[in-house]
Amino acid sequence: MLERWRQYARQMGPAWIIAADASGPATLASLCIAGSLYGYSMLWVVLLSVVFGATAQYLAARIGIIEGRGIIATVEDRLGPVWGWILTVDALLVTWLAALVLMNALTGVTSLITDIHTPFWSIPFSIIIGVFLVRGGYRWFEILCKSLIVFVLACFVITLWMVDLSWRDIGMGLIPTIPGGMDSALMMAAIMGGAVHITIIGLHTYNTNAKGWTRRDLKLARFDNAVSMGVAFGLYSVVIFFVAAAVLHPHNIRIVTATDAALSLEPLLGRGAMHIFMLGVWGAAFSTLFPTMLAATCFLVDKMKWPLYRKDKRFAWTVVAGCLIVSFGPFLKGGFFLLLPIMLALGLCGTPLIIAVIMYLLNKRDIAADDRNSTVLNILGAITLVVTTFLAVRFIFMKLTG
């Protein structure tokens, strides 16, 4: 058994990409804002987001491995072209919205770090992302960005040991409660949307195929997903949420900008908290933009039945078109740190469709055969679908009714 786990550890990979994407600036912003506003009372939402995120990603891995292709081609072939178009439009709208907001955040943070305030930072950034996606070779840059994120997360972990945690309030936070108001609906949807999002669910089907996994690797996919989404992303979410709840909430600090959120690291870093925090947000925004843009490209290229190869001109021009769209991100109205949770909440609204479709396909004998979902996985998937749908509908209802 131990030797098998060692072998799995050497072969794992696709879910780590997804976990890194989920651990982006939008999730960071949502956790900080929720902790500052509600203390520990939304802890149960944070924990459920980890469980449901791991469930959704495992379902995505299973359909990608069993079908041996991406989700768009699978749906079009199994359910027909109409459903193929519906899912494609849904996925593209949500993914491009995410990319626009991420570019807005990247530009905003760059302006703060350099003190050169201009929306046109998006032009060189779009060019860099486009070149790297088409030509490849951005591994070293991705490592740099991820290193910044890991460093900031380490700062949160150390800060967690320095602050006084209210174990009574933590225990109360495990009991599901739903505070009233628009802010509550937004934050609950945003926290869940950081882990259960159509962009990363869809992208994971392509990642498992790029890895060359087959049905023999289903157990490996489960291990990969449990360690990446369940443990690593779970640690990221809980640590940041705890620090925000322990540092910001007792002082009634309401987060409006990224500099407000940086105060959560002041117990450790003092006046240097803002600079370190901003570098982490910058690295998270840049590194998350790459897979987000790749996901949008895969969805469209797959729908058009073009080859999913960088050297294909149609793939390259799809990347260029996406980068052109995303370059307008800085012109979105509103502060970027508050736009990030809104983006995740809106993304959650487009997510139940892909979960329902994958659940349906994985329970069909002529598709999954002996690898159909187990009873436990079906129960987890059904609960994930119900809760995400409820939070999405509640957010939309509160938004429309004010």
Q: How confident is the model over 359-390, as pLDDT tens digits? A: 999 999 999 999 999 999 999 999 999 999 99
Tokens of 124: 């060189």
Residue 64 has pLDDT above 60, yes or no: yes
Please report, for the domain that includes residue 139, its CATH number. Answer: 1.20.1740.10
pLDDT for 146: 76
Residue 1 has pLDDT above 60, yes or no: no
pLDDT for 210: 87
Could you give the number of structural domains in the chain?
A: 1
Residue 86 has pLDDT above 60, yes or no: yes
Give pLDDT tens digits for 140-168. Answer: 766 777 787 888 889 999 999 999 999 99
Q: For 268-305, b where at least 16 C-beta lie within 10 A, e where not — what string?
A: bbeeebbebbbbbbbbbbbbbbbbbbbbbbbbbbbbee
- Alpha-carbon distance 388 to 52, whole Å? 9
Note whether 91 and 202 are within 8 A (CB): yes
Residue 136 has pLDDT above 80, yes or no: no
pLDDT for 165: 92
Band the pLDDT of 11: cuts 50, 70, 90. low
pLDDT for 5: 54
Note whether 388 and 192 are within 8 A (CB): yes
pLDDT for 91: 97
pLDDT for 10: 58
**Where in the sequence is the domain holding 35, given as residue range(s)?**
2-401
Note whether 269 and 259 are within 8 A (CB): no
Band the pLDDT of 6: cuts 50, 70, 90. low
- Alpha-carbon distance 331 to 79, whole Å? 38
Specify the amino acid at residue 105: A
| 146: CB partners within 8 A, 6+ apart | 20, 283, 287
Band the pLDDT of 310: cuts 50, 70, 90. confident
Residue 8 has pLDDT above 70, yes or no: no
Give pLDDT tens digits for 329-352. Answer: 999 998 999 999 999 999 999 999
pLDDT for 351: 97
Specify the amino acid at residue 174: L
Instruction: Calculate the alpha carbon distances from 224 to 2, 11, 187, 207 in Å.
Output: 15, 9, 28, 12
| 182: CB partners within 8 A, 6+ apart | 398, 399, 402
Determine the straight-line distance between the first and last CA of the chain, rounded to whole angstroms: 55
Helices 43-67/375-401 angle, 10° precision: 120
Give pLDDT tens digits for 161-200. Answer: 999 999 999 999 999 998 888 999 999 999 999 999 999 9
pTM of the shown model:
0.94
Specify the amino acid at residue 106: L
Note whether 185 and 394 are within 8 A (CB): yes
More confident residue, 45 or 217: 45
Note whether 153 and 4 are within 8 A (CB): no
Give pLDDT tens digits for 237-294. Answer: 999 999 999 999 999 998 988 999 999 999 999 988 999 999 999 999 998 999 999 9
Give pLDDT tens digits for 26-57. Answer: 999 999 999 999 999 999 999 999 999 999 99
Instruction: Calculate the alpha carbon distances from 154 to 65, 109, 146, 161, 387 in Å.
Output: 34, 20, 12, 11, 31
pLDDT for 180: 83
Band the pLDDT of 7: cuts 50, 70, 90. low
Q: What percent of the chain has pLDDT over 70?
A: 95
Q: Is 85 exposed, middle or buried (0-12, 13-18, 19+ CB in 10 A)?
A: middle
Tokens of 15: 């879910």
Nearest 5 degrees, angle CA 400-CA 198-CA 230?
115
